[in-house]
């Protein structure tokens, strides 16, 4: 079995990648900004059903600093570069996201090349695919790229696009023998392993906690974090994944009101606070005059989108869970860990 570095092991996707790598028999090293988080990461992995013991080691490294990366990748066959900033709110300046994402990816790639790593799998996002396009475009594949220069493209979307572009440019110009594959997930849901989870799940938690009396007319792709991790492992070793990007989406995109309906239908009393009404667009635009979060939604308000997982299925044999199964698993884990505001505990 191989030795694999997972960057950002304390994060939601990173933690599930470690769980699956250990279950498959690999030796795993993971980076955290502070080694004091080792206990927290091990607790997350235990929640995920694995006891890593000595097969998991830790390295201190920061996306914004060169120190530590050479040591982190030393002796590794593969690298899963999962770590990237993803704030819940609106950053003060877009460079707060763009610079760590782009420079962090380049640091990891340089260190991997210099250490003789065979392949890096970069966690990008649908954010690097489906934004800044002309009106009327609704269907997206791996052939599409977000245009960061177009009005309305948010800082997070720019950061993922520019970081992925920089990664492909690095491989083309100075990658040497290093291979690159990229995974582009939509909104990542699924079982939570601890208090560190995705912004997508924070949105779901707001619905469950009754923080949103009604929902805007927004559309989301859904994918289970376990399937995202599985796709990373497939992209890590499959010969046909070299030089390719893979869109990770479970099925058709859902309107936020459809997500709310699934929760209310499937989760019973736990979902009693989930809204049943959709806000009219004019009201969202009015709220955006003084609410930054509402303002951030305006470019996507009412835009129907969809993405295809055909390539990942065909090339890598990927078979994701359904939208509903993914959403139900998310809520069950939030309930199990007592992370809902005042919902019933199991």
CATH placement of domain 3-196+222-251+305-321: 3.40.50.720
Residue 163 pLDDT greater than 70, yes or no: yes
Within 10 angstroms of residue 33's Cβ, the number of other Cβ atoms is: 16
| Mean pLDDT, residues 187-199 | 89
Q: Is the dihedral of CA 307, 217, 189, 269 positive or negative?
A: negative
Mean pLDDT of 133-145: 95
Position 195 scores a pLDDT of 79
The pLDDT, as a whole number, for residue 93 is: 83
Tens digits of residue pLDDT in 88-128: 566 678 998 899 899 999 999 999 999 999 999 999 999 99
Strand partners, 121: 80, 181
**Per-residue model confidence (pLDDT) at position 344:** 45
| pLDDT computed for residue 346 by the predictor | 45
Residue-wise pLDDT tens digits, 318-337 = 999 999 999 999 999 999 99
Q: What are phi and psi of 322, to 5 degrees?
A: -75, 165
pLDDT tens column, 38-82: 999 999 999 999 999 999 999 999 999 999 999 999 999 999 999
Categorize the per-residue pLDDT at 191 as very low, low, confident or very high, splitting at 50, 70 and 90.
very high
In angstroms, the CA 338 to CA 80 distance is: 30
Q: Could you write out the three-class secondary structure of the chain? A: CCEEEEECCCCHHHHHHHHHHHHCCCEEEEEECCHHHHHHHHHHHHHCCCCCHHHEEEEECCCCCCCCHHHHHCCCCEEEECCCCCCCCCCCCCHHHHHHHHHHHHHHHHHHHHHCCCEEEEECCHHHCCCCCCCCCCEECCCCCCCCCCCCCCHHHHHHHHHHHHHHHHHHHHCCCCEEEEEEECEEECCCCCCCCCHHHHHHHHHHHCCCCCECCCEECEEEHHHHHHHHHHHHHCHHHCCCEEEECCCCCEEHHHHHHHHHHHHHHHHCCCCCCECCHHHHHHHCCCCHHHHHHHHHCCCCCEECCHHHHHHHCCCCCCHHHHHHHHHHHHHHCCCCCCCCCC
To 10 degrees, what angle do helices 323-336 and 199-209 make? 70
Residue-wise pLDDT tens digits, 26-49: 999 999 999 999 999 999 999 999
Decide if pLDDT at 215 tops 60: yes
What integer is the mean pLDDT of 220-229? 97
Token readout for 277 is 């009404």
Kindly report the average pLDDT of the chain as a whole number: 93
pLDDT of residue 86: 60
The reply to whether 160 belongs to the active site is yes
What does the pLDDT read at residue 107? 97
Q: Place 168 in a pLDDT band, splitting at 50, 70 and 90.
A: very high
Domain ranges of the chain: 3-196+222-251+305-321
How far apart CA 181 and CA 189 sit, in angstroms, is 22
Q: What percent of the chain has pLDDT over 70?
A: 97
Catalytic choice (137, 158, 160, 273)? 160
Q: How far is CA 67 from CA 59, 61, 120, 268, in A?
A: 11, 7, 19, 50
């Amino acid at each position: 079995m191989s030795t694999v570095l997972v960057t950002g092991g304390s994060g939601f996707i990173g933690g599930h990648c470690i769980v699956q790598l250990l279950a498959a028999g690999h030796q795993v090293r993971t980076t955290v900004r502070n080694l004091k988080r080792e206990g927290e990461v091990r607790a997350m992995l235990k929640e995920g059903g694995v006891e890593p013991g000595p097969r998991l080691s830790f390295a201190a490294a920061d996306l914004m600093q060169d120190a530590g990366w050479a040591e982190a990748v030393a002796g590794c066959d593969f690298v899963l570069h999962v770590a990237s900033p993803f704030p819940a709110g609106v950053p003060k300046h877009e460079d707060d996201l763009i610079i760590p994402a782009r420079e962090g990816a380049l640091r990891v790639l340089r260190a991997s090349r210099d250490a003789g790593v065979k392949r890096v799998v970069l966690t990008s996002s649908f954010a690097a695919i489906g934004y800044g396009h002309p009106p009327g475009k609704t269907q997206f594949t791996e052939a599409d790229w977000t245009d960061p220069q177009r009005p309305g493209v948010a800082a997070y979307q720019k950061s993922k696009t520019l970081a992925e572009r920089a990664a492909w440019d690095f491989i083309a110009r100075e990658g040497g023998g290093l291979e690159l594959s990229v995974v582009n997930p939509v909104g990542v849901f699924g079982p939570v392993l601890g208090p560190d989870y995705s912004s997508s799940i924070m949105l779901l938690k707001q619905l469950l906690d009754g923080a949103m009396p009604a929902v805007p007319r927004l559309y989301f792709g859904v994918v289970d974090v376990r399937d995202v991790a599985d796709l990373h492992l497939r992209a890590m070793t499959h010969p046909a994944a070299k030089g390719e990007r893979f869109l990770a989406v479970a099925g058709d995109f859902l309107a936020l009101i459809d997500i709310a309906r699934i929760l209310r239908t499937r989760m019973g009393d736990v979902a009693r606070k989930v809204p049943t009404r959709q806000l009219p667009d004019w009201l969202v635009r009015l709220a955006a005059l003084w609410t930054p979060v509402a303002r951030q939604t305006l470019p996507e308000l009412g835009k129907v989108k969809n993405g295809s997982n055909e390539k990942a299925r065909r090339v890598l044999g990927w078979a994701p869970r359904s939208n509903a199964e993914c959403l139900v698993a998310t809520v069950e884990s939030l309930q199990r860990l007592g992370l809902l505001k005042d919902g019933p505990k199991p």
